[in-house]
Amino acid sequence: MPLGRLHHLIVDCSDPMTEARFWSAVLGDPITYADDDFAVVSTSTATSGLAFQRASGLTPPTWPDPAVPQQMHLDVMVDDQDAAGAAVLALGARRLPGDHVYADPAGHPFCLIRRPTWASPVGGPR
- pLDDT tens by residue, 88-109: 999 999 999 999 999 887 777 8
pLDDT of residue 95: 96
Q: Which residues pair with 110 in a beta bridge?
A: 74, 102
d(CA 72, CA 80): 24
How many residues would you count in the chain?
126
Whole-prediction pTM:
0.73
Residue 72: partners with Cβ closer than 8 Å, 6 or more residues away: 9, 10, 11, 12
Query: With contact defined as beta carbons under 8 Å apart, do 15 and 55 qualify?
Result: no
| Residue 36: strand, helix, or coil | coil
The string of pLDDT tens digits covering residues 114-125 is 999 988 898 765
pLDDT of residue 60: 82
Query: With contact defined as beta carbons under 8 Å apart, do 83 and 100 qualify?
Result: no
Predicted confidence (pLDDT) at residue 126 exceeds the cutoff of 60: no
- The mean pLDDT value for 45-52 works out to 93
Residue 74 binned pLDDT confidence (cut-offs 50, 70, 90): confident
